[in-house]
């Protein structure tokens, strides 16, 4: 299933994208994609609904984040071999984990605002893991049982704040609008191998990133298990799993960064496409 949330920010309602790419209203069946809906039983109940029985949505509404605000928005850094190389950094011995501000979360096609004084705002297409059931100290063998599905994430990053202003990466990762999620949550049964997905980014029509999740250093099983050793993952939590090479910071001989007026377009095969205009704050 492809599950999404539509409507004005803060007033989204649950919907489904059917096999004919028609939006269907799910609000008579679930209040939102909460812990109950994302559980195995909840997803099975949604899958049992005949999409043709659901009211069609004929307009083109705003698409919101594909899950409500999570407890944790987890990110993994330097998780692709080629991205570590372009950053001139060693391959990590274990996952580099940080938290992205929940205030950064927005819909997949909402504008991205450059922070005031931004000089080095960058793009990062990433496979997002959506947690379906609480995960605490889970093994790699059991990790995928806790995954409800997957989505596209743009881990927008201001590099001067991230790397040149002291402290941790968080200050360059958590600005308002820096966490577009969606357009939809694709349930895990439709993604038989999350390590075989092509992901890409374009800026003003120029292909910047073109990679595959096959080159992750730590795969989805490892990431879910590893993070669950650090803190409890809750239903609806999001994990961004890292980005392949091609970020602006890594462009040679001169890095390329986002400017107001540009457009980012990024996607993952089977998981949908995001499009964001870049605006000044």
3-state SS, the chain, equals CEEEEECCCCCCEEEEECCCCCEEECCCCCCCCCHHHHCHHHHHHHHCCCHHHCCECCCCCCECCCCCCCCCEEEEECCEHHHHHHCCCCCCCCCEEEECCHHHEECCCCCEEECCCCCCEECCEEEEEEECCCECCCCHHHHHHHEEEEEEEECCEEHHHHHCCCCCHHHHCCCCCCEEECCCEEEHHHCCCCCCCEEEEEECCEEEEEEEHHHECCCHHHHHHHHHHHCCECCCCEEECCCCCCCHHHCCCCCCCCCCCCEEEEEECCCEEEEEEEEEC
Is there a single domain that holds both residue 207 and residue 235? yes
- Those residues with Cβ within 8 angstroms of residue 14's Cβ, 6 or more apart along the chain or in another chain: 3, 4, 5, 26, 27, 29, 30, 31, 32, 33, 37
pLDDT at 161 over 90: no
User: Number of folded domains in the chain?
Assistant: 2
* 64 within a domain of the structure (yes/no): no
Is there a single domain that holds both residue 151 and residue 41? no
* 58 within a domain of the structure (yes/no): no
Is there a single domain that holds both residue 36 and residue 88? no
Is there a single domain that holds both residue 184 and residue 248? yes
Is there a single domain that holds both residue 161 and residue 25? no
Is there a single domain that holds both residue 211 and residue 149? yes
* 32 within a domain of the structure (yes/no): yes
* 59 within a domain of the structure (yes/no): no
Q: How confident is the model at residue 59 (pLDDT cuts 50, 70, 90)?
A: confident
CATH code for the domain of 220? 3.90.850.10
Is there a single domain that holds both residue 84 and residue 38? no
pLDDT at 226: 98
Is there a single domain that holds both residue 154 and residue 219? yes
Is there a single domain that holds both residue 49 and residue 79? no
Q: How confident is the model at residue 218 (pLDDT cuts 50, 70, 90)?
A: very high
Q: What residue numbers bound the domain in which 145 lies? A: 73-280
pLDDT at 9 over 90: yes
Is there a single domain that holds both residue 156 and residue 239? yes
Is there a single domain that holds both residue 43 and residue 79? no
Model confidence pLDDT, tens digit, residues 105-157: 999 999 999 999 899 999 999 999 999 999 999 999 999 999 999 999 999 99
pLDDT at 54 over 90: yes
Model confidence pLDDT, tens digit, residues 70-118: 999 999 999 999 888 888 888 999 999 999 999 999 999 999 999 998 9
* 21 within a domain of the structure (yes/no): yes
Is there a single domain that holds both residue 41 and residue 78? no
* 111 within a domain of the structure (yes/no): yes
* 68 within a domain of the structure (yes/no): no
pLDDT at 168 over 80: no
Q: How confident is the model at residue 178 (pLDDT cuts 50, 70, 90)?
A: very high
pLDDT at 20: 95
């Amino acid at each position: 299933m492809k599950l999404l949330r539509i409507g004005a920010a803060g007033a989204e309602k649950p919907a489904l994208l059917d096999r004919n790419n028609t939006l269907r209203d799910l609000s008579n069946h679930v209040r939102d994609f909460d812990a109950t809906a994302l559980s195995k039983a909840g997803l099975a109940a949604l899958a049992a609904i005949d999409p043709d029985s659901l009211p069609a949505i004929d307009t083109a509404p705003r698409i919101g984040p594909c899950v409500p605000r999570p407890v944790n928005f987890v990110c993994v850094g330097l998780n692709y071999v080629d991205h570590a190389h372009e950053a001139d950094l060693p391959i990590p011995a274990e996952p580099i984990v940080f938290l992205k501000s929940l205030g950064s979360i927005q819909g997949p096609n909402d504008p991205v605002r450059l922070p005031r004084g931004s000089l080095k705002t960058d793009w990062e297409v990433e496979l997002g893991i959506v947690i379906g059931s609480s995960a605490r100290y889970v093994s790699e063998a059991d990790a995928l049982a806790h995954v409800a599905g997957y989505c596209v994430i743009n881990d927008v990053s201001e590099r001067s704040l991230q790397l040149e202003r002291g402290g941790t990466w968080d200050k360059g990762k958590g600005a308002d609008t820096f966490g577009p999620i969606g357009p939809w949550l694709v349930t895990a049964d439709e993604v038989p191998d999350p390590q075989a997905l092509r992901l890409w980014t374009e800026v003003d029509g120029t292909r910047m990133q073109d990679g595959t999740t096959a080159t992750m250093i730590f795969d989805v099983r490892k990431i879910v298990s590893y993070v669950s050793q650090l803190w409890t993952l809750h239903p609806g939590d999001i994990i961004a799993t890292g980005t392949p090479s091609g970020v602006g910071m890594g462009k040679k001989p001169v890095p390329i960064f986002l400017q107001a007026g540009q457009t980012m377009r990024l996607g993952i095969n089977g998981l949908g496409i995001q499009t964001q205009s870049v605006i000044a704050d």
